[in-house]
Amino acid sequence: MYTIKEIYKTIQGEGAQAGRTAIFVRFAGCNLWSGKEKHRESAVCKFCDTDFVGTNGVNGGTYSAKDLLLKLNELWAELESKLIVFTGGEPMLQLDRQLIQECKNNDFETAIETNGTIPIDFDIDWVCISPKHGSKLVVKHGNELKVVFPQEGQDLDHFWIWSLIICIFSPWMALKAKKIQGRPFSIAWRTLGGNLAFSNTN
């Protein structure tokens, strides 16, 4: 069973998938913050502004894989190019091979927004990693890197060698040069949703 904060259909507003219609499934729970203000100062991720606690959001609840797919198909209706984005909290606390396979059986393209601290050992079509300084990263291969920059004490150097298609820095970096921490970058995309996107030229 999966504990879901909310499920809703919208237009993806950021990243390489911006502009696409998608259903977002927000899992309850995170391993870098409890979601409670009394724990914020001791959390690894102190700047999170997402409500991922409980199941009281739109279409929230506890679902089996089959019941969740019934809900997703109901929300998607007759549109084509079916995209589902698993987010959180941290979706990898709950997301598993069974649910991904059910999505594929129902012709959904799958995407995940993860902090990268839990291994992904099954096939997801689009992996967006959003690392938080102070956490141990184990997922270093994917499609998209989305970094809140700057984070105190964060060094971007170790990200350059990752196998990723696109790198996004959000929301405090101003575009002043084609270098970040002395590294050459070329603009490969466009500014969307307050984010700046680059491809690594190395």
Mean pLDDT of 99-124: 95
The domain spanning residue 131 has which CATH number? 3.20.20.70
First to last CA, the chain: 43
Mean pLDDT of 16-37: 92
| pLDDT at site 29 | 95
Res. 164: pLDDT tops 80? no
Q: How many domains does the chain have?
A: 1
Among 6-15, 105-114, 123-132, 144-153, where is mean pLDDT lowest? Answer: 144-153
d(CA 197, CA 189): 6
Domain of 117 in residue numbering reads as 2-200
The CB density around residue 197, as the number of other CB atoms within 10 Å, is 23
Look up residue 181 and give its two tokens.
């921490």
